[in-house]
Amino acid sequence: MNVIDTEQKELNYDDIQGIVLQERPTPYVGTYVLLSIDHLQDGKAMLQRLLDEVTSAGEWSKPHEGAWVNVGFTFRGLQKLGVPQDSLNSFDKEFREGMAARAAKLGDVNESSPEHWEDPLGTDKVDVALALFASTEEALHQAEEAAHRIHSDLRGISVIYRLEVGMNPDGRTHLGFMDGISNPRIQGNHIPNAVGQEDEIKAGEFLFGYVNESGTVTKGPEPVELGHNGCYLSLRKLHMRVAAFRRYLREHADHRDDEELLAAKMVGRWPSGAPLSLAPETDDPALGEDIHRRNAFTYADDPKGFKCPVSSHIRRAFPRDSLQDFVVNVNIHRLLRRSTMYGPVLPEGVMEDDGQDRGIIFAGICSSLSRQFEFIKTDWLNGGNFAGISTEKDPITGKNEGEGIFTIPDKPIRHRVKELPSFSITKGGEYFFIPSMTAIRWMVELD
Ligand code: HEM
């Protein structure tokens, strides 16, 4: 397999893992399982079994035993599996260093810094992640059995962490907003129900070995059997301070009736998912449900952000056509998001923290951690000088720490809220390599 068609009309669904090309089911339940490899031979045995249990994109619509099993490896995991040094050296620097080493750059400081992360996240114990998803608890049980078959009798493989995730009853994030609406459409991905209603993005933005938006072929790790059809995953456990968010809205909205508006201005969408750009005055649930309309907008008619503030979460995370004055090609900074919720919902109206851990497992897939995930996190969300605004950060995920400012352009005068706390705290995270099926086979066959 040395000659590769980098402009394939259709992607090789049987070789690419399902989580890359298609959304998790809706509704969904899931489990993340982290493994540590203590013995090479058992690591090899695990790889061999993964070949039977991992769900490729080709199987995704006809789930393997009713559920989906996907796998990723940290750099240390690949080392422990005996991947040769030349190949290890060919991975990007950010991946080799790991997320914890990148913490300062990512804004994971103070209470979000790795010394406060939940064990074993960010330590040298995490080698493998299994992501199990299903549409019912019963089907998830099948996936858990598959995961069990992969490692349970291998003494050199230990389960070091498990986290259950699931859709909140209202289908929204803990802050009360619909998520997972906007995702790029990948060129060559024609799977039924493939994600994304937008213009196509070249496959090389998300997969190694394909032409990317800059017109070059995205180089992955070597050899080609290891890299082609693989990608990176940034996985982060983000605790959400829901009560603090509600209190902030209560204290800073002009009236009770305006609390939802203030929150929507911060997100850029209404709770239903309807974008402010198309529904600037009130929520429009029918628009929020309409998969053909809810993501069909630009910011061309709203350069100053009167409808959707320039500093809102979605405008910072993907500025669409907002940055033309800054000559930025936004398509080289995209992510495939596969995030899921964890923890119990804080009942409506509760304004005090109940001490429970709840939040989002952010999962961003890309072919360049630095140009995509890290760039969005540092330059756009936590941004030094995003769109010429140097004093603000993303109000939802930014490192605001009680000093944040958020401007809502309005006429005759703008509205500005201050002393924003950080509503999202990093509890840990890792960078993973999501190999193709060919790459797993290649690793099995290594001497
Ligand atoms: C506490 C953590 C977070 C919450 C609650 C959150 C919530 C949301 C919500 C409600 C949306 C709107 C739905 C949609 O457009 O799909 C959204 C969009 C988005 N978020 Fe986040 N998010 C979080 C963290 C992040 C992080 C860490 C990143 C990237 C590093 C990110 C990147 C994006 C992107 C790229 C979009 C789509 C924007 C667009 O295409 O218009 N988010 N997020």
Task: Report the nearest-CA residue for atom 2 of ligand 1.
Answer: 397
Model pLDDT, residue 411:
86
Distance 317 CA to ligand 1 centre (A): 7
Kindly report, residue by residue over 52-91, the tens digit of the pLDDT: 999 999 887 666 667 899 999 999 999 999 999 999 999 9
Which whole number is the average pLDDT over 411-422? 91
Higher pLDDT, 239 or 190: 239
Model pLDDT, residue 6:
65
DSSP 336-355: EE--EEESPPPPTT--S--S
- Please tell me the distance from the alpha carbon of residue 290 to that of residue 275, in angstroms, as a whole number: 11
Model pLDDT, residue 7:
65
* Tokens standing for residue 337: 């998001």
Q: Average pLDDT over the chain, rounded to whole?
A: 93
- Please tell me the distance from the alpha carbon of residue 33 to that of residue 186, in angstroms, as a whole number: 28
Residue 236 CA: nearest ligand 1 atom is 27
* Beta-bridge partner residues of 408: 415
pLDDT band at 101 (very low <50, low <70, confident <90, very high): very high
Kindly report, residue by residue over 279-330, the tens digit of the pLDDT: 999 999 999 999 889 999 999 999 999 999 999 999 999 999 988 766 678 9
- Please tell me the distance from the alpha carbon of residue 220 to that of residue 239, in angstroms, as a whole number: 32
Q: How far is CA 180 from the centre of its chain?
A: 10
- Does position 336 have pLDDT exceeding 50, yes or no? yes
- Does position 116 have pLDDT exceeding 90, yes or no? yes
Q: Is 160 left (phi over 0), alpha (psi -120 to 50) or beta?
A: alpha
- Please tell me the distance from the alpha carbon of residue 76 to that of residue 86, in angstroms, as a whole number: 15
Which spans in 272-416 are helix H? 285-289, 313-317, 375
pLDDT band at 271 (very low <50, low <70, confident <90, very high): very high
Model pLDDT, residue 328:
76
Q: Tokens 């990723």 — which residue?
A: 72
Which whole number is the average pLDDT over 351-359? 98
Kindly report, residue by residue over 167-196, the tens digit of the pLDDT: 999 999 999 999 999 999 999 998 765 555
Model pLDDT, residue 63:
62
Cβ partners under 8 Å of residue 73, min gap 6: 81, 127, 128, 129, 432, 433, 435
- Please tell me the distance from the alpha carbon of residue 170 to that of residue 296, in angstroms, as a whole number: 24
Residues recorded for the chain: 447
Model pLDDT, residue 81:
98
Instruction: Give all domains of the chain, ordered by start, each with its CATH number.
Output: 18-238+429-444 (3.30.70.100), 242-333+371-427 (no CATH)
- Does position 395 have pLDDT exceeding 90, yes or no? yes
What 3-state DSSP class applies to 68? strand
State which of 313, 336, 378, 423 you would mutate to test the pocket of ligand 1, scoring each by most atoms of that ligand within 8 A of its C-beta.
Answer: 313
Distance 381 CA to ligand 1 centre (A): 10
Question: Of 183-192, 210-219, 371-380, which range is least confident?
Answer: 183-192
Q: How far is CA 335 from the centre of its chain?
A: 7
